[in-house]
Amino acid sequence: MKTRRILLVDDNPNDLELAMNAFGEMGSDGIDYQVGVASSGVEAISIIREALRRGTEYLPDLILLDLKMPQMDGLAVLDAIRAEDELRNIPVVMLTTSGEDRDIRDSYAHGASAYVIKPLDFAQFREAMHTIRSFWTNLNRHPRLH
């Protein structure tokens, strides 16, 4: 069975809980999904660097990243990821409540793979999580490090 690692980065505990519930309600598609959680940008970088230290097979296959976070916002996290050769090809989907054009432009300019505005309705949120997971971990092909 294939294992796909997803790292969810969000400082809002309610949004983390919604996302984890959405992932928990999905079928596995014959794939073992391991969803890790970071409640800050600093924690996300620490988790990613620890995974890299252990070996590239422990790196996330997908990072879902909130934009607006204290201390280290999503753009700073994205910059840190894109600055390292071993991490550069990990898909990073910005998952945020902001629909501002500037935030969208900045995210892509910093290397985001996609930009998704969090739906407020749980059913729509669950469907968005399913679509993101399915596309980025099953359909999309990108250079693999492991």
Q: pLDDT at residue 145 above 60?
A: no
The pTM of this model reads 0.90
pLDDT at 146: 46
Share of the chain above pLDDT 90, in %: 63
pLDDT tens, 26-72?
Answer: 666 667 788 999 999 999 999 999 999 999 889 999 999 999 999 99
Token digits of residue 28: 């596995």
Confidence of residue 23 (pLDDT cuts 50, 70, 90): confident
Confidence of residue 137 (pLDDT cuts 50, 70, 90): confident
> 124: which residues sit within 8 A by CB, 6+ positions away?
none
Q: What is the torsion angle, in degrees rounded to the nearest 10, for the CA atoms of residue 142, residue 138, residue 55 and residue 46?
A: 90
